[in-house]
Structure 1
């Protein structure tokens, strides 16, 4: 109780001082994001959605960011015949995932646009794949996703729900802490201070009366419990914990055989840095070896260098604990706040693809040229999922899902299916 009360004045100070700190926050943002003539893709060190960091954006400290690029049209009208093997996909496997999206739409402002399609889909009595194909063709229009340069090919990666071994108490071999969100992690909406910064959010912490970036991975993992959140569980493998943070959710088997689920709750606001890319740049492995399996193999062979490698990625993810519902078959909740469906849910960049929308994906199976063409649902996001033609394929839970996800780095095309009124003018 006393520890909780001792933090209250700090949060109150953050709330009361928002206006006074706006200039400091903006300077911090521009210092972190705008000092390069071409800002990096992905996250800023302290903000997950930052217009200054869009490709091509320029800014100097104290000056507003210039528009990144002229407006382009990421959606181009298409015909159903443009979708390769559209008539071959068994759409019955996609229907449960679509109905999950409808659950989310019913709670959101865009529900009127989706209501007719969702209600009619729910009323279909044990439809055949052919009936579902007719349903989608009657209620949706396909739109080809295109990149700013006019191309329509993009990157398709994979992710899965890993299984870790853990305990509720610390003791060999369970020595790696899984942390919940820290109470001193601040989320500040700069749009409340300056309207032109709408949708711009910062993560940080108070240091005196200034907001500074939150602690890095290295600072959090040094063992100082004042840096980071409450310990939820202890697990036995730092590498598996690192990949749990990359995947965003996972399951933990406890010593008594029971299982619990860990779901993404927050992150420290620092940019994600690929340790696979770093190992390739150092000459530690070739590009084709830089898979999840290859990185794990390197970690086992280099235990004394592991901490230094992991800390090269300053981002740190915090979790919440959730009960596993619906048996082993139900996936974790994605960004849409509905359970993900194995091999039918994808993560997308919501700046270009509406969350919940059906997306027809044409790609190939991991490390092969075998076609993988099916109707997916855009039900998740990820800090590394940036760009118009970009998808992360959810493979599900288990060793096979881990194998497929770890090897997947394919080229693909995407068509988003939108009902009348939801399509761009």
Structure 2
């Protein structure tokens, strides 16, 4: 495995880093101030739209798409280091139209959408004019076992009728979110992994109701946020189905690998920002007659953080390399491993950062507290650590049984 970055990627890294330093970091405080003063917190503030315009003009737009017809034409391994740079700021991915769940939904439409579906939705998504959400998890069942999902998608003539309740539909609270990709049960017979389907549901369809948004550790996560949605006798044309009935889990697997690479590399970027902050802070603060940076335990935390970040990055790059070379299925163990390893690593680094910053670490004077709440959530989102560890162990033991 050769993880040396190509000239194309190196140029993009330099360009992206420069943009972050000149545009994103200086505007973080402006962004949060505008959000505090906004009449509608579910609409992106003016500074975001301004930064998006600059990102487009700089050619730093839709970098996540491997198909050159729609995006930068980068492989997973090529995009990974760029995703890490974006992960250094919580607001950065949206600046470049590379944020979830929009980016994975765009990828699904590119890979699995019909020409009609692409024509209707892709141009607006690619231009950053609208948002979309992904509705999979349900409050009434343990969704860590996706086979438990109960929302029904039943064909009635030339329509599908959808009934059920979803939550953690990120982005749905925004008036700019125009549709959800919904995973539900379309059959109760046959092979269990062939009983679910995915359909596109415009959010203005009768019967779709946003129940509430769910805060995370007290943060409402506006303007993206996490919505709970009720679908009551919602009717959509049969042409809104992705691929076909019973293909829901197969599509989800296609979405899974690249999305995990992206959020894991963003987490590594978050960890790098945290380590940078604590190194700078530890040089400035004096306790018991010497700088924090000269205290043994602080040096140990800094050293362990560097070791942890480097190990995690290599594992993610290996997973990205394998997805590119042999596909999601053959890379399934590596994909599962990064899902466990990276959020655990990032929460450890952020926890050390909070401890070194002291009282300031739990305030909004630094981005650390906000980052920690997001990273801690990643140990649950897309399946808890315990489920992934059990799966990894099963694959590991397979050759010995």
TM-score range, shorter chain: under 0.3
Q: Which TM-score applies when normalising by structure 2?
A: 0.25
Q: Which TM-score applies when normalising by structure 1?
A: 0.24
Structure with the greater alpha carbon radius of gyration: 1
- Higher relative CO (Cα under 8 Å, sequence separation at least 6) belongs to 1
Structure with greater proportional strand content: 1
Structure with greater proportional helix content: 2
